[in-house]
C-alpha cells in the first residue's frame, strides 16, 4: 500500500471516475471521460480486457497492478482502481518519464508481455519514442523487439474515390519488428530472409548451419527469435 501511494505522488497522472473502461479518448477540463466511441469500429487497446500487470519505474521500482491496459493507438498506459464496496472506478493514465517499462499478463493465454521505453537515439533510422515489446524468449534478451501499434483504416478509401463515406473508420493492428545491429542500435526489419540475413551479416556459415538444423522459418516470430539469440551467442 505504501508503494502504491508513493507511486501515486511520483507520477504525473490524470484521474477519472466512471463505470466503464471501454474508451479513454474524450477529454473534459483535463480529465479523461470514459465513453463508448460510436464513430470508430474496434478498440485501440492492445488487449481488450483489463489484465494483471506491473509498472517499472527508473528500472528499479516495481508496482504490481490488478488492472492494466495499454492503448496502442495513443501509446498510453492506464491502470484501474476499484474501491472496496463501491461501484466507483478510477481510471488513471500513467504519464511520467520515470516509467521505464511495464508488463502485462495476458490472462486468456497466460503469457507475459514485457515492454520497455525506448527513444529515437536507440534506433538506426526512423523510429518514435515509446513502448516497445521484447519478443518473448526464455533467455529474456532484448536483441529482437517489436512495436505494437493501432492505425486508423478507412474502408472507403480502399474501395477507391467516393463522394460519400458509407463505412466508419476502424482500428487495425500494425506490428513493426526491429533487430539490434552490431552498433547496439535497433534497425527495422521485415520477417523475410533477405532482410534478416542482411542484419545478421557475420558468422554466415554458423548461421546457415543453424537455419538448416532448426528448419528456421524466417516469417515466424519465434523462429527468428531463436536465430537472433543464437547469432548473438557466437
Domain extents in the chain: 1-109
- Could you give the CA distance from residue 8 to residue 92 in angstroms, rounded to a whole number? 10
Sign of CA pseudo-dihedral 144, 148, 149, 155 = positive
List per-residue pLDDT tens for the chain, 234 residues long. 433 433 443 343 333 333 333 444 444 444 444 444 457 888 999 998 999 999 999 999 999 999 999 999 999 999 998 876 656 688 999 888 899 999 999 988 888 999 999 999 999 988 999 999 999 998 989 999 999 999 988 877 765 555 456 788 899 999 999 999 999 999 999 999 999 999 999 999 999 999 999 999 999 999 999 999 999 999
Query: CA dihedral in degrees (5, 8, 11, 12; nearest 10)?
Result: -150
pTM score above 0.85: no
Q: Which helix (H) or strand (E) holds 180?
A: strand 169-180
Amino acid at each position: 500500500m505504501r508503494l502504491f501511494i508513493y507511486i501515486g505522488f511520483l507520477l504525473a497522472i490524470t484521474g477519472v471516475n466512471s463505470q466503464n473502461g471501454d474508451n479513454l479518448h474524450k477529454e473534459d477540463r483535463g480529465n479523461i471521460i470514459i465513453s463508448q466511441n460510436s464513430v470508430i469500429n474496434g478498440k485501440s487497446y492492445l488487449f481488450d480486457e483489463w489484465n494483471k500487470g506491473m509498472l517499472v519505474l527508473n528500472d528499479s521500482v516495481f508496482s504490481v497492478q490488478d488492472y492494466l491496459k495499454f492503448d496502442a493507438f495513443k501509446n498510453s498506459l492506464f491502470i484501474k482502481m476499484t474501491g472496496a464496496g463501491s461501484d466507483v472506478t478510477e481510471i488513471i493514465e500513467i504519464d511520467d518519464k520515470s516509467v521505464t517499462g511495464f508488463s502485462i499478463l495476458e490472462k486468456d493465454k497466460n503469457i507475459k508481455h514485457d515492454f520497455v521505453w525506448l527513444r529515437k537515439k536507440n534506433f538506426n533510422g526512423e523510429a518514435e519514442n515509446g513502448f516497445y515489446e521484447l519478443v518473448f524468449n526464455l533467455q529474456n534478451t532484448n536483441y529482437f523487439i517489436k512495436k505494437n501499434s493501432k492505425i486508423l483504416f478507412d474502408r472507403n478509401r480502399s474501395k477507391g474515390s467516393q463522394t460519400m463515406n458509407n463505412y466508419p473508420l476502424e482500428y487495425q493492428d500494425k506490428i513493426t519488428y526491429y533487430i539490434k545491429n552490431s552498433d547496439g542500435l535497433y534497425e527495422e526489419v521485415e520477417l523475410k530472409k533477405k532482410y534478416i540475413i542482411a542484419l545478421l551479416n557475420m558468422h554466415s556459415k554458423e548461421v546457415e548451419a543453424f537455419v538448416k538444423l532448426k528448419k528456421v522459418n524466417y516469417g515466424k516470430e519465434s523462429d527468428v527469435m531463436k536465430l537472433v539469440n543464437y547469432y548473438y551467442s557466437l
